Amino acid sequence: MFKIFSKYSIRKYNFFLVFLTITISVIGILLIGSAKSQLMERQIQGLIIGLVFMIPISLIDYHFVLKFYWLEYALALVLLVAVYLFGDKGGGASRWFTLFGVRFQPSELVKILLILFYAQFIMKHEEKLNTFRMLISCVVLIVPPFVLIFKQPDLSTSIMILVIFCVLMFLGGLSYKVILVVAAVAIPSAVILLNMILTPGQTIVNEYQQKRLLAWIQPEKYASTEAYQQLNSITAIGSGLLQGKGLNNNVISSVKNGNFISEAQTDFIFAIAGEELGFIGCCAIIILLFLIVVQCIWIAVHANDLAGRLIAGGMAGFIGFQTFINIGVTTMILPNTGLTLPFVSYGLTSLVTMFIGTGLVLNVRLQSDNTLY
């Protein structure tokens, strides 16, 4: 029998990780207030709610939570089916669900639920992970949530689901031979798939998703349409120079003040950071997020069991890859995907989900026998 709460040593509580998450969230609140002031109060509420969730979750024994891993997997599917059938339409997509007057995006919570599910599932079958039957089982189980998110349509989040899955499988002990075989098949397949997607008349992805890829490859051709956001984002980041133009500035030449970036408080919040906080501000954001990822990795390395390593390592992969993709989009290194910047972009579901995940990582640390780190 597991106890929901255990006796912990206060020395094991990672206050530095808590400090990092609160600091980066406050920076996000300030940037959101500058981008769209009426949303600032709501993001503050998101931070408070996130902390309310994080603190008790950090004290709940994660082994107790993992006992219900099949229920967590079922909950993920129920949420995604519900949003598919009854979700609110927005921007041509059905990604949100309103329950008791609260509007949230289930796919964000599903990322955490899948980390929990696979943490326990992989640990229970650790010795059989590299068998054909086990590999097929892991792949089959990721297909339903991937398809349901892809059908919303939400290509970016479905890709993140696959990234998290790959990170968990790797940390779970996937053989390098299997990785090489998968890479040998996946890389050529990805190239072929990309060529098929770029073919006129294709039906693999929506037309707007195809145009985003084309705009990334030929930005000058789509400068006034699909590439408009990213090109203006680059201009905004570059115009901030070293110290930026300052938060809530009234500079006429500001890309933000000219409304050249729509919905800047979400996907392109890093562009606002570049313009108003400059190179120094951008570096501060990147360093803070990097330190959060490093803390998660460090906790994963010292976890007591595989499940703990997968929870902390899964969160590190989640935050790290989503940060890379978001910044890659704003600097046009990657095609426009629509992923938010962790802890920084506007979105209560995203922010609260991040704090829930952080709470789980904090508990992995509390469960560790090591008191020296």
pLDDT in tens, 49-66: 999 999 999 999 999 999
Q: Tell whether 2 is covered by a domain.
A: no
Highest mean pLDDT among 88-102, 248-262, 309-323: 309-323
> How many Å apart are CA 138 and CA 214, to the nearest integer?
33
- Structural domain range at position 57: 10-367
User: Dihedral through CA 180, CA 181, CA 184, CA 187, nearest 10?
Assistant: -80
Q: How confident is the model at residue 191 (pLDDT cuts 50, 70, 90)?
A: confident
Q: Tell whether 5 is covered by a domain.
A: no
Is cis: bond before 153, omega within 30 of 0?
Answer: yes
Checking if the pLDDT of 6 tops 80, the result is no
Other CB atoms within 10 Å distance of the CB of residue 276: 25
Determine which of 137-151, 166-180, 222-236 has the lowest per-residue pLDDT on average: 222-236
Q: Tell whether 308 is covered by a domain.
A: yes
Q: Tell whether 372 is covered by a domain.
A: no
Q: Tell whether 3 is covered by a domain.
A: no
Say if residue 166 is exposed, middle or buried (CB neighbours under 10 Å; 0-12, 13-18, 19+). Answer: middle
Q: What pLDDT is stored for residue 295 in this prediction?
A: 97
Place of tokens 């349901």: 148
pTM of the model: 0.92
Checking if the pLDDT of 288 tops 50, the result is yes
**Half-sphere CA count of 98, side-chain side, radius 13 A:** 4
Beta bridge pairs of residue 94: 89
> How many Å apart are CA 68 and CA 57, to the nearest integer?
15
Instruction: Give 2 or 144, the one with higher predicted confidence.
Output: 144
Q: How confident is the model at residue 153 (pLDDT cuts 50, 70, 90)?
A: confident
Q: How confident is the model at residue 1 (pLDDT cuts 50, 70, 90)?
A: very low
Q: What pLDDT is stored for residue 371 in this prediction?
A: 56
Q: Tell whether 373 is covered by a domain.
A: no
Instruction: Give 91 or 88, the one with higher predicted confidence.
Output: 88
> How many Å apart are CA 110 and CA 273, to the nearest integer?
29
Tokens for 67, please give them.
């006992």
> How many Å apart are CA 139 and CA 142, to the nearest integer?
5
For residues 328-336, average pLDDT: 91
Q: Tell whether 281 is covered by a domain.
A: yes
CA 198 to chain centre: 26
The number of residues in the chain equals 373
> How many Å apart are CA 264 and CA 335, to the nearest integer?
17
Structural domain total, the chain: 1
Q: Tell whether 58 is covered by a domain.
A: yes
